[in-house]
A and B are shown apart, each in its own frame.
Chain A
Amino acid sequence: MLDRADGQIFTGNVRLVHAVGMHARPAVKLTKLAKKFQAQISVRVAGAGEWINAKSVAKIMAMRAAHGSTIEIKASGSDAEAAVAALVDLVASDFPDGAG
């Protein structure tokens, strides 16, 4: 786990446009991409209380983000800014094949 103290927190919001919501395939892509970064990354469905680890596929699935919901992303750590940008891009571009 990463030291929070060294970095600024970066955040991003993105609407989930995937037709069936955050189901198995998108969840696997999202966690795979998140794991490429050192940063500690959390996501939640906008308005929901709890932030969850973007690198845990079980938790991303349990989040049950529906089609059309907004996903909030926050990250801290050395490559946090790039991580947020990459994840926003993945969700916004509807989890293209080959990504993640």
Chain B
Amino acid sequence: MRKAIDLASGQIADLAASAGGEAAQILEFQVALLEDEDLIEAIFASIGEGRPADVAWRSTLDEQIAEYNSAADEYLQARSSDLADLRDRVVHILRGDEGEPLKIPSGGVVCADDLPPSRFLEIDWSGGGGLALLHGSPTSHVAMLARARGIPMVVQLGAIPDAGATALLDGEGATLELDPSAEQVRIFEKRRESHRKSRASARAILRRPTASWRGEHIKLLINIQRVDDLEHADAQYADGIGLMRTEFLLAGHSELPDEETQFQAYDAVLRWAGQRPVTIRTFDAGGDKPVPSFTFDGEPNPFLGVRGLRLCLARPEIFAVQLRALARAAVRGNLKVMFPMVTQADELEAGRKLFADVVQRLQADGIAAMLPELGIMVEVPAAALAVSSFKASFFSIGSNDLAQYVLACDRSNGALAPLMDPLHPAVLELISRTAEHGRRAGVSVSLCGDMAGDPRCLPALMNCGLRELSVNASALAQIKQTIDRLSSGGGVG
């Protein structure tokens, strides 16, 4: 057993050394497990009771794997494949059947139940290829490795496809096509080539300091749903955070989050951002996002109901907790706070008053706090039309809701998809007006909806006068590149 552990440890260390970087850190966890005396002692105790070494090892690891799999935490679940990886490596060594490393022709599509990180690293990916997993998770270590190397990967395929001579794996569309026609192959190859080119140049562009369009600096910020989103490899290249949603704090708990929990989340993001601006949106519950003991039940038309700032003003005791956490976080970094779903200037002022009272009380208690810059989301058409009536320090256009309200189309209703066009002149008109007001009043205007991350919408948004966009970190490179290309007279690509 000892020998097998030492051998496995050595093998993993060799892999880590040759892979380097992120891969080495992932494998370090496996080495640490092998050096875990508590874990190993339990195995030796079991062997001492007469069980064969491979059985003792396997059952101990299986217990751990089961525990990880039963965790509510998606991250921990994803780590179970690292444990399975380690389990199998040692079992093979113990049985003396480790055999030859996987011989997979370079450029092939590997289809498996799940693929452990160390196996991934043993495969020669230099000729391309792809990974199709029946199970697996997009947050697994192997997914991180595949992403970092640009290996296309599809997870949760469900069933094993019959072996085919040729396979087309589309990581973008998440499809696996077996024995495709010549025509399919031709189209795929063309798409793949252009994707490869654009990806390579987009990554390079990301490292340039700023995006610019016809000499004007374009600020590119990122949207985050939760603190973990900052782990995306491209997040570091953002000019700041244009939208931090806070609804994740309301999900998955029986009670609403307390002030300290909220403060820690806001503070973590501000510390990550350093000098860069961080715009946090107060709870946008209601509409399609009901929250027990917070939102109103039984509204006949929740999208036009008590949601966003309306709800927070109706529940001042819940809102005050969030405002206290934000007021304390405001002294820790470059924080801006915005209210969602605002219709009237009075609502902004009511929110501001609550916020100012909270700050005053905190300060009276000797707690460091300040009122951050306050802005609003522009998503109700009335707010866009009367934008100059708001004394906001900044505006952020929520194009998804704005389009749904302007076009009178429920955005979750697939039957309306052809009508649900964010490039409708009425939507663009409201975006232009808001941007124009911002320019005249010297107030920044950004756009944080799906439009910002859609290259096809970029020419229209630039023409509307927007110079600040907030997108998911995964779209950052492509958007930066598209702006660059448009700026130099090219198409959207």
Q: Which A residues contact B (CB, under 8 angstroms)? A: 15, 17, 19-20, 23-25, 27-28, 31-32, 35, 53, 55-59, 61-62, 64, 67-68, 94
Contact = CB atoms under 8 A, between A and B. Distances in A.
Contacts of B261: 68
18 contacts: A19-B227, A19-B230, A19-B231, A19-B268, A19-B272, A20-B75, A24-B29, A24-B82, A27-B29, A28-B28, A28-B32, A56-B37, A57-B29, A57-B36, A58-B33, A62-B67, A64-B76, A67-B265
A59 B64 CA distance: 10
Contacts of A64: 71, 73, 76
Interface residues of B, number: 32
B357 interface: no
Nearest to A23: B75
Interface string B259-280: 0110011011101100000000
Given A19-B268, A56-B37, A61 B76 contact: yes
Contacts of B210: none
B38 interface: yes
* SS of B interface (majority): helix
A31 B33 CA distance: 10
Contacts of A68: 260-261, 264-265, 268
Interface of B: 25-26, 28-29, 32-33, 35-39, 64, 67, 71, 73, 75-76, 79, 82, 227-228, 230-231, 260-261, 264-265, 267-269, 271-272
A17 B36 contact: no
A58 B87 CA distance: 14
Contacts, number: 71
A58 B64 contact: yes
Nearest to A62: B67
Given A20-B228, A61-B76, 12 more contacts: A24-B79, A31-B32, A53-B38, A56-B36, A57-B32, A57-B35, A58-B64, A62-B64, A64-B71, A67-B264, A67-B268, A68-B261
A15 B264 contact: yes
B268 A17 contact: yes
Given A53-B38, A67-B265, A19 B29 contact: no
